[in-house]
């Protein structure tokens, strides 16, 4: 079984690429989505005590769910707070990912394990991966998508992008690059080629 890290930057279209990749692989691929798992942790009440202890009672609501707006404003404006939050969440994500990867390895019908790690290059966690794929667009495209899709202000967009490693540095460090600008068919063609080359050749 081969393991592929998929990363990129915010608003690069990584989720669309992963959807196409999973469609290509069908039941032969398994996916671990770090954002989805982090969301489950933030909404499940598991982190109520550590979050409120570190960031104060405003970081969680009465049911124990994290206040994502509060945390987003905090961590994108304060690098130290971001690192603290990552220190709480990332070890739990890493442990769960490795457990799911082990289960997939024991299934002879599974060819590959895809791990969606938005901040792979920004963290020290490693997953015994065989390769890293970066989904990339220009910085200008990222800013436009964030403004249209999320409605973020210019200062928030700049803070978000400043918190991530520049996309072209990630491109230089990748084993594979999916360039996601242009017609949708181009992304689909790149996805099919990568699937065949990496998981089957």
Give the residue numbers of the binding site for ATP. Answer: 11-16
Residue 70 backbone class (left: φ over 0; alpha: ψ -120 to 50; beta: rest): alpha
- Of residues 179, 82, 183, the one with CA closest to residue 137: 179
Binding-site positions: 11-16
Nearest 10 degrees: Cα torsion 43, 59, 6, 112: -30
Nearest 10 degrees: Cα torsion 67, 146, 8, 128: 10
Q: Which residues pair with 114 in a beta bridge?
A: 4, 31
Q: Which residues pair with 136 in a beta bridge?
A: 179
């Amino acid at each position: 079984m081969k393991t592929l890290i998929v990363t990129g930057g915010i608003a690069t279209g990584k989720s669309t690429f992963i959807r196409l990749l999973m469609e290509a692989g069908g039941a032969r691929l398994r996916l671990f989505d770090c954002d989805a798992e982090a969301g489950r942790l933030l909404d499940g009440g598991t982190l109520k005590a550590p979050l409120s202890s570190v960031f104060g009672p405003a970081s969680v609501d009465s049911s124990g769910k994290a206040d994502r707006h509060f945390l987003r404003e905090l961590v994108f404006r304060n690098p130290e707070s971001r690192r603290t939050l990552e220190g709480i969440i990332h070890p739990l994500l890493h442990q769960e990912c490795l457990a799911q990867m082990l289960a997939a390895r024991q299934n002879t019908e599974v060819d590959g394990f895809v791990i969606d790690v938005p901040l792979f290059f920004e963290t020290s966690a490693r997953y015994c991966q065989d390769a890293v794929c970066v989904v990339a667009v220009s910085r200008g495209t990222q800013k436009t998508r964030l403004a249209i899709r999320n409605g973020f202000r210019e200062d928030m967009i700049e803070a978000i992008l400043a918190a991530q490693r520049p996309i072209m540095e990630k491109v230089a460090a990748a084993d594979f690059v999916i360039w996601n600008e242009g017609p949708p068919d181009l992304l689909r063609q790149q996805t099919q080629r990568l699937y065949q080359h990496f998981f089957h050749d």
